[in-house]
Amino acid sequence: MMRTILKAIALCTFVLYLNGCGENYETPDSAPSQKGTMVEDTEPQLKSVYVNDYEINYLDAGDGEPVVFVHGSLGDYRTWEAQMDVFSKDYRVIAISRRYAYPNKQEAKDSNDYSVTPHAEDLAQILKSLDLGPVHLVGHSYGGFTSLLTALEYPELLRSLTLGEPPVMSMLALIPEGSAVGNEFAQNVRAPTAEAFLSGNDEEAVELFIGGVLENKDYFSNASQEQKELMMNNAFGLRGVILTENPFPPLNCESLRNLLIPTLLIKGERSPKILVEITNVLNTCIEGSEIVFLPDASHGLEYENPVDFNRIVLDFIGRH
């Protein structure tokens, strides 16, 4: 059932340039830990670590070389349910819930908190705090951008890097039709989603966003109540990104050429053109990177086709 639920999570968070963030709120079941402590939740193997004045929850399973999974927007540690059992047979697997994702505290003091930059710093401090040594880092969408930025700033923390369609929007400048593609998404998806959030209708905003990303306007309405609740658990983070000006720091080919970590790029057979083109450009900029076309999948790579996704990533990290 969880694998079905996960299909409801569209993790593509490439949102452009609106001012301001909405009011903050906190989920009733979020409870911060004391600084410097490790906390066990009621769910087996769900733990937390306190970094950068914030409690991050993560799932920890298996033994061996560490593999760390980083989800995108409208997701959390549960996004990687289809990977946990498979990867933990041979590796220690850690799936984190990024800042503001379920079941973490959902309250922000600064609009800058929704930028990729503090999320990347959180990730680096988590890797250091858990004393994992170099890890195989696997990031999807917003989590892919987070992982990429962490790799650029803290290369010593990584053994390998796998990126599933990270929304590095500055790469559009290197694509002939990039401006038109970006404007089309902004007009058809970002703008109506932002309007719904600003009007206080979070559910409509999530419905519009997922419908636009998956090009299926009825996706949310046809979802089960359990699927809808899962998506709404993570609406807070999406709202912040949608309403934040410039949430994605600019990168260029020159900065990416300094990335010497073994890197795998994954793009879906049915993924939006904007993400496929960005992934192609990243492949030309990152020296020695590998790029793989995942069949029978759109942007929800790891949960739309987990069998092939797992096989591809396991083969890659096994070689590095």
Domain spans of the chain, in order of start? 2-318
CATH-assigned architecture of domain 2-318: 3-Layer(aba) Sandwich (3.40)
Strands annotated E in the chain: 39-40, 46-51, 54-61, 66-70, 92-96, 135-140, 158-164, 263-268, 290-294
pLDDT for residue 114: 87
Side-chain-side CA neighbours of 193 within 13 Å: the count stands at 30
For 192, which DSSP code? H
Strand-pair category, 92-96 with 263-268:
unpaired
Of residues 3 and 147, more confidence is placed in: 147
Higher per-residue pLDDT: 32 or 269 = 269
C-alpha 193/C-alpha 202 separation (Å) is 9
Residue 1's pLDDT is: 44
Split at pLDDT 50, 70, 90, the class of 176 is: confident
Q: Of 297, 244, 227, 289, which is closest to residue 262 (Cα–Cα)?
A: 289
Does residue 10 surpass a pLDDT of 80? no
Q: How high is the pLDDT of residue 112?
A: 64
User: Whole-angstrom Cα distance, residue 128 to residue 134?
Assistant: 10
